[in-house]
Amino acid sequence: MSEFRIHHDVNELLSLLHVRGGDGAEVYIDLLQKNRTPYVTTTVSAHSAKVKIAEHSKTPEDFLRKYEELKSKNARNLDPLIYLLSKLTEDKETLKCLQQNAKERSEMSANATSSSTTSFNIPATSTKMSMQELEELRKKLGNVTASSNVPQSAEVIRKMLRDRHNKKNPTQPIPVFPNWVYDRPALIGDFITSPTPLGDPVVAIGTMPLPVQEQALVEDLLYVLIGVDGRDITAQPVLGRQSRSFIVDPSLDMSVKELVSRILPVASCYSTITRFTEERSSFEYGQVNHALTAAMRTLMKEYLILVTQLEHLHRQGMLSLQKLWFYIQPTMRTIEVLASIATSVEKGECMGGSTLSLLHDRTFNYTGDSQAQELCLYLTKAASVPYFEILEKWVYRGIIKDPYGEFMVEEHELQKEKIQEDYNDKYWDQRYTIVQHKIPSFLQKMADKILSTGKYLNVVRECGRDVTCPDAKEVLYTLKERAYVEQIEKAYNYASKVLLDFLMEEKELVSRLRSIKHYFLMDKGDFFVHFMDLTEEELKKPVDDIIPPRLEALLELALRTSTANTDPFKDDLKIDLMPHDVITQLLRVLAIETKQEKAIINADLTDVALSGLEAFSFDYIVKWPLSLIINRKALTRYQMLFRHMFYCKHVERLLCNVWISNKSAKQYSLHNAKWFAGAFALRQRMLNFVQNIQYYMMFEVMEPTWHIMENNLKSASNIDDVLCHHTSFLDNCLKDCMLTNPELLKIFSKLMSVCVMFTNCMQRFTQSMRMDSEMNRLTLEHGTMEGPPTQNERTEEAEKKRLTSKFLAEHVDSLQSDSNIEATISKFDSNFSTLLLDLLDKLSIYSTNDCEHSMINIIYRLDFNGFYTERLERMAVERSQKAAAQH
């Protein structure tokens, strides 16, 4: 079971049990995933579980009756459910909780339905009801009972099935038999109940001599065995799916009546089979049921021939009641098995794969009864022919031709172009899906391979190439599953190879992934330096002021004038300005299905104006069928990695600019200030942190993980392996780059913010000192070697002085004394050191407790000389003491 499925089922269960508050579904999901074990329910364990539940039940008869009913309907996963329920009966605390919950739910439903229940005006008990009132009450009660208990008529069911099919396939409506097929009951071959007796006035058969009685009943039985009422044996009307019953003249001799009662079940079974074959041969019930009814009709021909021969003997006066019983006995088992199958198919409302599952299970259940098993095998082979024809087209050509919706694979109308537009559009998973109840039980183990085989071939077909499996052979039903398992395996291997070769060689998947790596994982250094130089001024603007076409032009220039020009897929790279910064985007993704989700989504982000740098990202145009691998979900992961590293690169450039400013500021005697040395050291520590984080992400996470993925892709045998390796690569990169841990992500975000604020502050300090120095220079009167300054020179210097004074007046708040600047630098140092220590401490915890060993490499790189070791050890001791005190 997938993680998503577990998550969905847990949430559904909590909702049904009205569980609110607590730790939410996450705790239960983690427990289930950690403690789940593969378990296969055996017949023995299911039987013992059934007995255990019956013993604990207050109404064991009702439970066993319901179990047999579900079993007859061929309900899937019934035995595992029974086993689970038996385990629940052993847990007293859970039972008490469930009983309380059931009581509350029943009270709620009773209150909800009390207002909507049908009320009847029943006279008071003190008054007598007239016959008319009694009749009206009987009719009302009869209508309510009929609407709730009596099954829907065959006509209503046919219409419902037809409407459902036509709604799903409006272009392929189901053919409809003309009305006269159903309006003429004599065509069906079953009993026609007549309200008035036909023929001569009836004489009580009991008054006749015994030989006359016997001959009269032989004639009646020959009629009844082919669905026609006799004189002394008449059929009762059938309601719903009941078996046909008969009324025999009560004056009949007891010895004769006993023999008659032995033969009549054959007539009842014949009636059941006839009704089933007539009804289920309609187009609405699908091709499998149609094939099954055709096979049953073929078998029934032998029965009708037998009855015809017996009638011939009767006309010659050579057939007694004992002989009739003797001749009919060999056919009884066949008729009983056919009637039993017909009843089960009707009760289970089986169609397509579920019909085949029922037939297959019956075939195995009749082991030891060779006649019944051979009969079921014949029916299963005949019914599976249309199903296997659909299967062959799917696994050999990738085409679904399922006009009646019987096949295990269901097609959904999805546009493959949306795979590039919508993050949630799972084309590969949702275009073709498995419908569990339509899987024949003998193909259950191969269901996933059948789905994948057709999907692989279908992808290639949609690219305009006609593909047909060279090993295509007719698939036939057999009790030896290995026969068709081998055929499906061959088709699967061929389909896997065709699609893999198509993507790897013709569509150059690896080259495409390498191209994406160049840009999203920043392994083209000269391109990024050139691009960031070109777009530096543009990306400093607020995102609303940026002109995207200008950025696209600068991107084109950077691509053409760097080593990226050799990339044949460079034209597919595009600019994308995102609505959130990368930290917000990551936190929103990580908060999905958690208690913080609503708070983060509803947070008002309109007050925060994004700069171009914070909103900037790359996008990539991927066409079908490569979009199966490089879909929107994968591209979003690439974008998050890129934005994270791009922002780190931006912070590094800001720190390097501070270094350049510090170098040029030495001429203004800044190096004499007390705060200068501290600021220089802090800037170097920040630069060391940012560069080492970048080095770790690029050379200790992405490069090794990329090489692992490349090697795995070389050995991949099918497209699902490729998808798995690619997704695993992206997930590992996100995890090892600390992007999947909200706690680490927030600390890292604060560290980056401190670095950016420090660079802005240092640039202001340097600029203010430069202005101050310029002001001092302009106040000095000076001449030149040619004499005192001229009038023009004096005017020019006066203008400079005025502009400088204006600038200083506007930025007077940034001009501070040395002591204030020193305090500011000290505060930056304290904040940075605290956050860095917090990050290193958290990394040491995760690398130890969660076995994230790659993260410990960051500690080794940032604490290469043991500068932080002593403080980290002290924090670890304090943490252990605190934990011990709590216990």
Site of tokens 């690169």: 649
pLDDT at 319 over 50: yes
- The pLDDT-based confidence of 154 (bands split at 50, 70, 90) is low
What three-state secondary structure class fits 740? coil
pLDDT at 720 over 70: yes
Name which of 488-492, 543-547, 575-579, 582-586 the model is least confident about: 582-586
Copy the structure tokens of residue 788.
Answer: 């005192």
pLDDT of residue 684: 83
pLDDT of residue 123: 47
pLDDT of residue 245: 80
Higher pLDDT, 500 or 204: 500
Copy the structure tokens of residue 715.
Answer: 């050995």
Structure letter (DSSP) for residue 784: B
189 Cβ contact partners less than 8 Å away, ≥ 6 residues apart: 226, 227, 274, 278
Q: Residue 743's closest CA among 668, 835, 881?
A: 835
pLDDT at 157 over 60: yes
Alpha-carbon separation of residue 71 from 64, 77, 291 (angstroms): 10, 10, 24
pLDDT at 125 over 60: no
d(CA 499, CA 477): 29
pLDDT of residue 813: 47
Alpha-carbon separation of residue 825 from 180, 252, 672, 822, 829 (angstroms): 97, 117, 16, 5, 6
φ, ψ of residue 776 in degrees (nearest 5): -65, -40
pLDDT at 20 over 70: no
Which amino acid type is present at position 589? Answer: V
pLDDT at 193 over 80: no
- The pLDDT-based confidence of 187 (bands split at 50, 70, 90) is low
Cis peptide before 440 (omega within 30 of 0): no
Would you list the DSSP string of 521-586? TT--HHHHHHHHHHHHHHHTSBGGG--HHHHHHHHHHHHHTSGGGG-TTGGGEEEEE-SS-HHHHH
pTM assigned to the model = 0.67
List, for residues 483-509, the tens digit of each pLDDT value: 778 888 888 888 888 888 888 888 888
Q: What is the mean pLDDT of the chain?
A: 75
pLDDT of residue 609: 67
pLDDT of residue 808: 46
List, for residues 608-651, the tens digit of each pLDDT value: 567 777 788 888 888 877 887 888 888 888 888 888 888 888 88
Return the H-helix or E-strand segment holding 193: none
Rg of the chain over Cα atoms, rounded to whole angstroms, equals 42
- The pLDDT-based confidence of 785 (bands split at 50, 70, 90) is very low
d(CA 603, CA 49): 51
407 Cβ contact partners less than 8 Å away, ≥ 6 residues apart: 352, 353, 387, 390, 391, 394, 400, 438
d(CA 739, CA 742): 7
- The pLDDT-based confidence of 140 (bands split at 50, 70, 90) is low
Structure letter (DSSP) for residue 594: S
Helices and strands (H and E) in the chain: how many: 33, 6
Copy the structure tokens of residue 333.
Answer: 């088992």
pLDDT of residue 706: 92
Copy the structure tokens of residue 830.
Answer: 């304290």
Copy the structure tokens of residue 599.
Answer: 């708070």
pLDDT of residue 812: 43
Higher pLDDT, 603 or 840: 840
Beta strands in 304-426 (DSSP E): 409-411
pLDDT at 267 over 70: yes
